[in-house]
Amino acid sequence: MPHFDAIIIGSGFGGLYALHHLRDMLGLSVRVFDSAGGVGGTWWYNRYPGARVDAPSTPFYAYTFSRELVEGWDWPETQASQGTVLAYLEYVADQLDLRKDIQFNTRITDARYDEAAQGWTVETHSGETASAQFLICATGALFVANRPAIPGIDDFTGKICHTGRWPHEPVSFEGKSVAVIGTGSSGMQAIPEIAKTAKHLTVFQRTPQFALPARNRPLPKAELDAFRANWEDHRGSMIHRGGSPFPTTKLRARDATAEERQARYEQMWAEGGMQLLINSYRGVLTKEALNEEVSEFVRGKIRETVKDPETARKLLPDYFIGTKRMILDNGYFETYNRPNVSLVDLREDPIETFTQTGIRTRKGDHPVDMLVLATGFDAVSGSMLAINPKGRGGVSLKEKWADRFETYLGTAIADFPNLFMVHGPGSPGVFFTMPLGGECTVNWIGRCISHLRSTRLGAIEATPEAETLWDEEIQGIAAGTLYPRTNSWYLGANIPGKPRQFLGHLNGSSYFKRLTEVADAGFEGFMTEPVR
Ligand code: NA7
C-alpha cells in the first residue's frame, strides 16, 4: 500500500492549493484523489448553461498567493463563466505541475484512522488503498447533489439532468418541452439560457427568490492591470474586509429621508452586483425594518420587469433579502415575458406525481420531454458524510454528526486526529471569497503540520470542549443577524431530516485572525500525542 505524508481529497480550488502548499512549500509527499475526470471541483461538475460565479468575481475569485498566476491570467469578464473558471484552474494545474500527483476518476469510499500508526488509510471505489499521516478533505461545500424524492420521478421516461452533475456532452433543448425545478442560483442562471431554444419551458418554483442585477461586462485590460499593480494591498484588504477588497458603507439609514434612501437604492441597483445589499446602508442583514425596505425595493423591480401581473405576483419573495444566498441576475425576470415560458407556483399548485411523459400538479398535467433539476446540494456537510470517515475507536462521522455538525474552527473534528477540512461546517466557507478563504485555511493547516513535525508530535486533535465553544460562537454570531429566520441551505433546511444548525462563520476576517491566534497560542483547543 503506498504511503504519503498527506492525502488530499478533492482537486478544486482548495485541493489544488493544498497540493501546491504541502508539496512545494513544505516538501511533503502528497497524493490527491478526485472522483472527477479533471481538476476544478465544483467547476468541473457544474457545467449547466449559464453557470457563472455567483458574485461579482473577477479578478477576485482567483488565487492570490502567487504574483505569477495573477499576472499570467487575463479575466475577460467581471462575472466569470464556468468555462473560464475551469480553464483558469487547468492553467494553474499546468503552471504548478500539479496533475502528476492527482489520481482522477477515483472516488474515496472509506477512510479509517489507525490509532497505532497515527495516520489514515483510504479506500477507493475500485478497492485500492493508500495511507498517510494527514488527511486533508477539500471535498467542497456544494458537492453532493440534492435529488428530491418526488413521487413517480423514476417512471419519467425523458432525460433528467441535475445542474450540479451536468453531462459533458452537449445538451440540446431545441424543440423540447423542458421543466426546471428549482430557482436558486443554478436555476436562475440556467433558465434564461434554456428559454432561448426550448419549445416551451415550465419553471416549477417552491420559493420565489431575490436577485440583484449582475451587470456583467467585459473587464478592460487597463482595469485588470490596475488591480494587479496593487495586488498585495487588495489581498490584505480582502482578508480584513470579509473577502472583498473594497470598504463597505458607513452610512446609516436613519440619517436619511425616505426619498434619499430610495435614491440611494436606485444608485446601488444601477451599480449592480452586491452593492444594494452591502453598500446602501449599514445593517441590511441585521436590521429588520431596513431589510424589509430594501426587500420591498427589489420586489418593486420585479413588478416593473415582469409584464404579466399574476406571474409577477408569484415571483415576489417573502423572506429577508440576503438571508438566502444572494443571486446575481442576468435576465432571469425578463425571461418570464417570453411567450414560451410559464411558471408554476408549487405553494399554490404542488406536484402530485411524475408520469412517464410529464409532471402532474394539483391543477393539471404538464407535458415534459426533459427535466432539469436545479435543486441544489446537501451543502457543507454532505461531501464529508459521503466519505464518512471513521475516527478513534472506529466511530463514523455519520454517528458523530447524527444530531449536530460538531467541529472546531470548521477544520478539525474531535476523535478524528490528523484530519483537516477546508470549508467544513463552522468555517467561513461560502460567506467569504472561497479561493482566498481556502488559501488562508490551507496555510494554517500547513502551519499545524509543520508544528507537529518540528516538535516530534504524531497526532493532533480538537478537544470536545473546544468544539462545544466553537459551535456556541458560530450560532451566537448568526443569532445577531436575520439569517436564522429564513429557511435556507445555510441552515440545512433544504434537506429533509438534516439537523438544523447554522453552518458557517459569518465573520471571515475575525475567523482568520482567530486561526492565527490559536496557532500562536500553541494550537489552543487541541490535544497532541508524541510520535509513537
Ligand atoms: P439552491 O440555492 O439550494 O437552490 C435549489 C432550488 O431548488 C431552490 O429554489 C429550492 O427551493 C428548490 N428545491 C429544492 N428541493 C425542491 C423540491 N423538492 N421541490 C421543489 N423545489 C425544490 O441550489 P443552487 O444549485 O441553485 O445553488 C447552490 C449554491 O451554488 C448557490 O448558493 C451558489 O453558492 C452556488 P427552496 O428555496 O429550498 O424552497
> In the beta sheet, which residues pair with residue 31?
7
> How far is it, in rounded angstroms, from Cα 291 to Cα 321?
7
Q: Is the CB of 54 under 6 A from ligand 1?
A: yes
Q: Is the CB of 133 under 6 A from ligand 1?
A: no
For residue 499, the model assigns a pLDDT of 96
The pLDDT of 132-142, averaged and rounded, is: 97
Residue 513's contacts (CB-CB under 8 Å, 6 or more residues apart) are none
CA of 488 to the centre of ligand 1 (A): 9
For the packed helices 434-454 and 508-520, what is the interaxial angle rounded to 10 degrees?
A: 10
* Peptide bond connecting 496 to the previous residue in cis, omega within 30 degrees of 0: no
Q: Which of 210, 325, 327, 353 to mutate to test the pocket of ligand 1 (most atoms within 8 A of CB)?
A: 325
Give the helix ranges, DSSP H, for 347-433: 382-387, 397-400
The phi and psi torsions of 80 (rounded to 5 degrees) equal: -65, 140
Q: Quote the longest CA-to-CA distance of the chain.
A: 71
Mean pLDDT across the chain, nearest whole number? 97
CA of 122 to the centre of ligand 1 (A): 32
Which amino acid belongs to residue 170?
P
Number of DSSP helices (H) and strands (E) in the chain, helices first: 17, 19
Q: pLDDT (tens digit, 9 = 90+) per residue, 242-262?
A: 888 888 899 999 999 999 999
Q: Which of 206, 348, 423 to mutate to test the pocket of ligand 1 (most atoms within 8 A of CB)?
A: 206
What DSSP element (H or E) covers 467? helix 464-479
The phi and psi torsions of 47 (rounded to 5 degrees) equal: -110, 35
> How far is it, in rounded angstroms, from Cα 331 to Cα 163?
18
Residue 365 neighbours by CB distance under 10 Å: 12
Q: Provide the sign of the torsion angle of the four alpha carbons 35, 36, 41, 42, taken in this order.
A: negative
The residue among 51, 43, 40 whose CA lies nearest residue 10 is 40
Query: Taking the mean position of all CA atoms in its chain, how far away is CA 340?
Result: 32
> How far is it, in rounded angstroms, from Cα 409 to Cα 35?
27
Q: Which of 144, 185, 366 to mutate to test the pocket of ligand 1 (most atoms within 8 A of CB)?
A: 185
Query: What does DSSP say about strands 370-373 and 419-421: parallel, antiparallel, or unpaired?
Result: unpaired
For residue 242, the model assigns a pLDDT of 87
Q: pLDDT (tens digit, 9 = 90+) per residue, 280-324?
A: 999 999 999 999 999 999 999 999 999 999 999 999 999 999 999
CA of 327 to the centre of ligand 1 (A): 11
pLDDT band at 180 (very low <50, low <70, confident <90, very high): very high
Q: Is the CB of 187 under 6 A from ligand 1?
A: yes
Q: Is 521 exposed, middle or buried (0-12, 13-18, 19+ CB in 10 A)?
A: exposed
Residue 177's contacts (CB-CB under 8 Å, 6 or more residues apart) are 198, 199, 200, 201, 202, 358, 367, 368, 369, 370
The residue among 285, 298, 325 whose CA lies nearest residue 490 is 325
pLDDT band at 59 (very low <50, low <70, confident <90, very high): confident
SS3 content of the chain, % helix, strand, coil (to 5): 40, 20, 40
Check if the beta carbon of residue 44 is closer than 8 Å to that of residue 36.
yes
> In the beta sheet, which residues pair with residue 202?
179, 342
For residue 471, the model assigns a pLDDT of 97
Q: Which of 47, 186, 380, 432 to mutate to test the pocket of ligand 1 (most atoms within 8 A of CB)?
A: 186
Q: Is 159 exposed, middle or buried (0-12, 13-18, 19+ CB in 10 A)?
A: middle
Please give the number of the atom of ligand 1 that sits closest to the Cα of 186. 26
DSSP class of residue 245? S
For residue 452, pLDDT over 90 is answered with yes
DSSP string, 289-350: HHHHHHHHHHHHHHHHH-SSHHHHHHT---S-TTSSPPEEESSHHHHTTSTTEEEEETTTS-
For residue 489, the model assigns a pLDDT of 97
Please give the number of the atom of ligand 1 that sits closest to the Cα of 189. 26
pLDDT band at 447 (very low <50, low <70, confident <90, very high): very high
Q: Which three cell numbers stand for residue 343?
A: 411558471
Q: pLDDT (tens digit, 9 = 90+) per residue, 146-167?
A: 999 999 999 999 999 999 999 9
For residue 58, pLDDT over 80 is answered with no
**Where does CATH 3.50.50.60 sit in the chain?**
3-144+378-530
Report the CATH number of the 3-144+378-530 domain: 3.50.50.60
Q: pLDDT (tens digit, 9 = 90+) per residue, 384-422?
A: 999 999 999 999 999 999 999 999 999 999 999 999 999
> How far is it, in rounded angstroms, from Cα 360 to Cα 357?
10
> How far is it, in rounded angstroms, from Cα 15 to Cα 17?
5
Q: Which three cell numbers stand for residue 387?
A: 466519505
The residue among 148, 37, 132, 141 whose CA lies nearest residue 386 is 141
Q: Whose CA is nearest to atom 36 of ligand 1?
A: 207
Q: Which three cell numbers stand for residue 342?
A: 410559464
Q: pLDDT (tens digit, 9 = 90+) per residue, 478-510?
A: 999 999 999 999 999 999 999 999 999 999 999
CA of 182 to the centre of ligand 1 (A): 5
